[in-house]
Structure 1
């Protein structure tokens, strides 16, 4: 995932291809021993991405392989830039526009401040999920049921919990146990809601850790506070 995201970050113009050796990708995403074991791990990742039709790898003797992006759907179709597709769809019929895949932008500081190397795979996966969930919604009241999380993203509960814990440790997400309130009557049912703090990416990971450690821990919202926060009427 880190390798694919990094290729998406660098191959920004048609034909959406790039020539970089495995050592370069290993160093960029912070793998140890980038000249040896790190490069080997990247090559394994590239083979998997090629097999699953996310990339095409064109090799020429004596040259670094040219990596060309393919559709994120894994169909093997040519890659199309989501921003260009969305811009074109805005001029089209509204029904056609709804069929265009929407997208989210990752902050450039994910790479320039070293976050891509700092976050583990589970945390990065949950970051992408939360950013997708926040698209067009209030980033302070994100939630999804375990069933939806499992069906849509095929991540285990252990992976989700580990990823959220890592994001929380850096202050990238705040987690609240919020009562499920349908009216003014107190509820004993709770669910996790998430607040996404993407501004934390402006900090270096070490600074983010210090800032997060200095904050008071989150506490569950009272039913009345939950009503007010969700904008419900008593």
Structure 2
């Protein structure tokens, strides 16, 4: 199902499992005469039991069309990472929102990665970026990028034209 070659696939899977174990994401528990069992480790309390993200409150879900329409293959890893970040950061807002620099840095994406992925998502019709003033009436107001993800784009196949009803649609220039 992962489309790994039979000669090197198992070695790659074992190597990745070892890396996850060595870096504290999982614990491999050996089982005699069988593959090791995998125990998920809690990121907040490594000694405590693992708790699903949905039970902790906030999590990000992707529509099935992300996979069925082929976006998982079409977008780069950085584009997918920023898509997850923006879906989490925007938290269901229906209008463009500014993401403070402290919040952006908490995701661990470099400025270069953020910019490259942003351009990719804009090009593919997922992302609307607007310049909006930030600050109160008595402060110096600066223009900042505000982001909005068009979740309806998941339903279109990669390469499809952006429909005119989408806020991201731009008519062809004459």
Which TM-score band applies after superposition, normalised by the shorter structure?
0.7 to 0.9
Contact in 2 for aligned 1:54/1:74 (Cα 8 Å): no
Aligned: 1:167 with 2:138: no
* Cα distance in structure 2, aligned partners of 1:39 and 1:172: 35
Q: 1:82 is matched with which residue: 47, 50, 53?
A: 53
The aligned residue for residue 11 of structure 1 is: none
Aligned: 1:196 with 2:152: no
Q: Once superposed, what is the RMSD of the aligned Cα atoms?
A: 3.5
Mapping of 1:114-125 within 5 angstroms? 114-125=70-81
Q: 1:149 is matched with which residue: 82, 93, 104?
A: 104
The aligned residue for residue 133 of structure 1 is: 89
SS in 2 for 1:125: helix
What is the count of residue pairs matched by the alignment? Answer: 166
C-alpha displacement at 1:37, in angstroms? Answer: 6.8
Contact in 2 for aligned 1:52/1:74 (Cα 8 Å): no
1:92-130 Cα shifts (integer Å, max 9, x gaps): xxxxxxxx4422322222233322222222112211211
Mapping of 1:17-36 within 5 angstroms? 24-25=1-2, 27=3, 34-35=4-5
The aligned residue for residue 59 of structure 2 is: 103
**Greater helix fraction, Structure 1 or Structure 2:** 1
SS in 1 for 2:116: helix
The TM-score, its normalising length taken from structure 1, stands at 0.56
The aligned residue for residue 223 of structure 1 is: none
Contact in 2 for aligned 1:123/1:163 (Cα 8 Å): yes
Q: How has the CA–CA distance of structure 1 residues 177 and 45 changed in structure 2, closer, same or farther, with 3 Å as cutoff?
A: farther
SS in 2 for 1:155: coil
The TM-score, its normalising length taken from structure 2, stands at 0.72
C-alpha displacement at 1:211, in angstroms? Answer: 2.4
* Cα distance in structure 1, aligned partners of 2:30 and 2:134: 55
Q: How has the CA–CA distance of structure 1 residues 70 and 204 changed in structure 2, closer, same or farther, with 3 Å as cutoff?
A: farther
C-alpha displacement at 1:198, in angstroms? Answer: 1.4
**Greater strand fraction, Structure 1 or Structure 2:** 2
